[in-house]
Each structure stands twice: as structure tokens, then as C-alpha cells.
Amino acid sequence: MDEKELLKRITVDPGIFGAKPIIRGRRLAVEHVLGMLAAGDSPETILEGYPWLEREDIQACLVYARRLAARERIELLPTEPAR
């Protein structure tokens, strides 16, 4: 499945979690899945906890996060030399 197809699994519903990105219209936020992965949970553990979730949903969360990070730019402000 290509990235475009995976990203169709990420939706936004103003009535769920204040319009945060969620998985397939369900009450599971992308940030929650990413948080579980960051905490060391395996995809298998996550899938066990959410029987309706599919492996492609987890992959879609990772693609979503990568695309957000790819657009991020940090501009450093000039600093004064130490005295």
C-alpha cells in the first residue's frame, strides 16, 4: 500500500478529540498510537489492545508523523556574544 492510500486512513472529525487526526473515524488519535510506539509498545501489543485496528493503521500513523516532521523548519534566533 502506498503512502497516499495509507494516509486515507487518517481522518479528522470536529466532533472527536477537537478535530485532532484520528484513525478511520474512530476514537483513537494518531498521537496516541505514536505515543505507544514511542513508549516501546510493539505493533503487536497495540493491535491486541485495539482489535479493530489494522497494521496498516499503525503504518499510516508513522507516515503521517514523517510527513509532518519533513515540513518542520526551525529558525534559530541570533544570540548576543557572551560577555
pLDDT tens for 17-45 read 999 999 999 999 999 999 999 999 999 99
pLDDT of residue 73: 84
Which cell goes with 60? 499510516
pLDDT of residue 79: 82
> Which of 2, 1, 13, 3 is CA-nearest to residue 64?
3
Which cell goes with 75? 529558525
Query: Can you list the domains of the chain with their CATH numbers?
Result: 3-71 (1.10.10.10)
pTM: 0.84
| Burial degree of 37 (CB within 10 A; 0-12, 13-18, 19+) | middle
| Burial degree of 58 (CB within 10 A; 0-12, 13-18, 19+) | buried
